Amino acid sequence: MGKVIGIDLGTTNSCVSVMEGSEPVVISNAEGNRTTPSVVAYSSDKQVLVGQAAKRQAVTNPEKTLFAVKRLIGRKFDDEYIQEDMKSAPYGIVKAKNGDAWVEVDGNKMAPPQVSAEILKKMKKTAEDYLGTKVDGAVVTVPAYFNDSQRQATKAAGKIAGLEVKRIINEPTAAALAFGLDKLKKDGVIAVYDLGGGTFDISIIEMTNVDGEYQFEVLSTSGDTHLGGEDFDSILMNHFIGEFKNESGFDLNTDPMALQRLKEAAEKAKIELSTTEQTEVNLPYITADASGPKHFVHKITRAKLESLVGDLVKRSLEPLKTALKDAKLSPKDIDEVILVGGQTRMPMVQKAVTEFFGKEARKDINPDEAVALGAATQGAVLSGDRSDVLLLDVTPLTLGIETLGGVLTPMIEKNTTIPTNKSQVYSTAEDNQTAVTVHVLQGERKKASDNKSLGQFNLTDIPAAPRGTPQIEVTFDIDANGIINVSAKDKSTNVEQSITIQGGSGLSDEEIEKMVKDAELNAEEDKKFEELIASRNMADGLASSTKKAMEENKDELTEDESKSLGEAISNVEEACKSESKEDIDKAVEELSKIAQPLSDKLFKKEAPEQTTEESSDDKPEDAVDAEFKEVDDEKDK
């Protein structure tokens, strides 16, 4: 069976998504945008424009530019709601023979599904261009409050667009699927707060186990059909217009070009204030008069924006109370709160919702795309694409080995899908080192000792060689059951040692979470440690190579030179014993200063050796990334 796509057919914007592997992805349209305006226009030469292009020509063709048709779909003309909307709609809304609300363009009456079909066609084409194959099945989302005739009309729109609508699902349910709530495998009540571009919906849904499958049931819905992000933009824009009038006496309302620039600037400022505390709107040459050009430069803080739009946010809380009351629940009965719609990126909105429910809201999925992603997830289930048989595990924590300086060098990063394996070549840290210890660790901290030790073994009988020369290949293999096999092989002798760790992730979920949190909390400290070790390893290497060079080229150096060089080397060695990166760096700098002028003398004889090292660098698979410390004396365990 072919791919089944997921379509979020929105009032202001629509979005299409498809399952790829185990994750749904949003597909960008031909113009490069991840969402498409739900606008359809009929030009005088009978051409149909959909999306961005339709929106751009709206002022030239208002009677034939249809937007927010979703408000009409499946409704009766005499519906109070339609009568209210008709007052503001620039296009004709008429009564069809069956009493439905239809639109009228150039004297032609059209059913809303015909118009919505144009949007669906565009979404279908977007998906087909991306996938390179024909798409004929789709899951389309509708608001939870849609009645049967509205759902049937949406289904009809799909049919007209050449799509078999495999299922109509509720937007809040799709959002819950996108957040993976069905995978929690527990009963619960979810509140979906959806503040989009032009409409606001709150849905209370219940997730229950029905014969082993998790199903969602809508308990109640409420909302405000004329509240959305665009209202936030226009409040901010009016604020700017007022400010400019105060400063310069100009009313920008009369200048369409200035309004256009202000509108864009207001939306941009609003978005920026979700991540920064203050931003500056800078619109040079916004207008001009006899005295010369006028610029609009205005600083705005997040606090100011919040004071301007506070009422809008408050307005969204009323429907929350209604929805809870209708569901006969109180805020504490809600197990999960999820945020959908771009406007929920605003910290003030997030805070208000969190305070209302007394619970942190989930916002880890792009709120503009959650509904489409959930629809694609459902689509994959229906097309049989998502087989739970092959749902593979991931490693919850990073696995690695301890290397020089007591550092955890990762081999398999956390969240890697298993079964998997990885090999890497390491070398020795000391000259003539004949054994190495492979210490297997699990965790996210940089310092080896801060992680969980899973086991260790020694690889012995390495032929004596200068540091960095032996090539020891370490291989990690995790099978589908999570059993870890670690082996180390000396590539010159093929001598091999290995260890098998049963149930390597024998940690409870809480322990894993704690380890991940610990790493986040100690990120700063870990970074310092990592830098210290890097400095120390570098210093240690420099001291030892300089020392070696000095001994080999004794005759070339004067007594004074040898003396100051020797002192600088022992200073570095001394500094390496300390825990201070500054001391080490300072000593290294001193040593470099003394060694630099002598480099001709020091490294004369070593030149050929250098070239061989370089040539081995050409082979990335043989590259040595880290070095082992020397084995402890007690080799036998």
Partner 1 sequence: MSEKEIKKEEKELEENSTQDEAQDPESKDDLNSLTYEELLEQVDKQKEETLRAVAELENYRKRSSNEITNALKYANSELLLSIIPLITSLEKSVEGSEDAEKIDKEGIMLILNSFEKTLENFNIVPINPSGQEFDPEKHEAVSTVNNPGEKDNFVTNTLERGWTLNERVVKPALVVVNKK
Which residues carry out catalysis?
8, 70, 171, 194
Contact stretch for partner 1 (CB under 8 A) within 131-139, 414-422, 432-440, 583-591 = 414-422
Among 1, 2, 23, 330, binds partner 1 (CB under 8 A): 23
Token pair of 369, please? 């795309």
How far is residue 364's CA from residue 1's CA, in Å, rounded to a whole number? 31
Phi, psi of 615 (to 5 degrees): -65, -30
The 10 Å CB-count burial string (b at 16+, else e) for 536-571 is bbebbebbbbbbebbeebeebbeeebbebbeebbeb
Amino acid at 247: E
DSSP letter at 20 equals: E
Residue span 450-489 as binding mask against partner 1, x where in contact by CB under 8 A, dash where not? -----------------------------xx---------
Q: Applying CB under 8 A, does 416 fall inside the site for partner 1? A: yes
Among 133, 415, 423, 432, binds partner 1 (CB under 8 A): 415
Beta bridge partners of 139: 6, 167
Q: Applying CB under 8 A, does 260 fall inside the site for partner 1? A: yes
Total residues at interface with partner 1 (CB under 8 A): 30
Among 209, 215, 307, 417, binds partner 1 (CB under 8 A): 417
Closer residue to partner 1, CB minimum distance, 20 or 272: 20
Contact stretch for partner 1 (CB under 8 A) within 83-91, 245-253, 254-262, 607-615 = 254-262
Q: Applying CB under 8 A, does 249 fall inside the site for partner 1? A: no
Least Å from the CB of residue 480 to partner 1: 5
Q: Applying CB under 8 A, does 502 fall inside the site for partner 1? A: no
Q: Applying CB under 8 A, does 419 fall inside the site for partner 1? A: yes
Least Å from the CB of residue 421 to partner 1: 8
DSSP letter at 447 equals: B
Token pair of 617, please? 């660098």
Helix (H) or strand (E) segment spanning residue 205: strand 200-210
Q: Applying CB under 8 A, does 31 fall inside the site for partner 1? A: yes
Least Å from the CB of residue 32 to partner 1: 6
Among 1, 2, 21, 164, binds partner 1 (CB under 8 A): 21
Q: Applying CB under 8 A, does 420 fall inside the site for partner 1? A: yes
Helix (H) or strand (E) segment spanning residue 420: strand 420-428
Least Å from the CB of residue 29 to partner 1: 11
| Burial class of residue 528 in the structure, from the number of CB atoms within 10 Å of its CB (0-12 exposed, 13-18 middle, 19+ buried) | middle
Segment 345 to 404, residues that bind partner 1, using CB under 8 A: 390, 392
End-to-end CA gap in the chain? 58
In 3D space, the residue among 232, 202, 179 whose CA is nearest the CA of residue 346 turns out to be 232
* Coil, strand or helix at 295: strand
Q: Applying CB under 8 A, does 289 fall inside the site for partner 1? A: no
Longest dimension (CA), the chain: 110
Q: Applying CB under 8 A, does 53 fall inside the site for partner 1? A: yes
Phi, psi of 507 (to 5 degrees): -95, 150
CB atoms within 10 A of CB 70: 25
Q: Applying CB under 8 A, does 501 fall inside the site for partner 1? A: no
Closer residue to partner 1, CB minimum distance, 288 or 303: 288
Least Å from the CB of residue 416 to partner 1: 6
Closer residue to partner 1, CB minimum distance, 260 or 330: 260
How far is residue 565's CA from residue 542's CA, in Å, rounded to a whole number? 12
In 3D space, the residue among 404, 422, 378, 391 whose CA is nearest the CA of residue 537 turns out to be 404
Least Å from the CB of residue 23 to partner 1: 7
Q: Applying CB under 8 A, does 59 fall inside the site for partner 1? A: yes
Least Å from the CB of residue 481 to partner 1: 10
Q: Distance of alpha carbon 292 from its chain centroid, rounded?
A: 47
Write out the residues near partner 1 by the rule CB under 8 A: 20-23, 31-32, 41, 44, 49, 53-54, 56-60, 256-257, 260-261, 390, 392, 415-420, 479-480
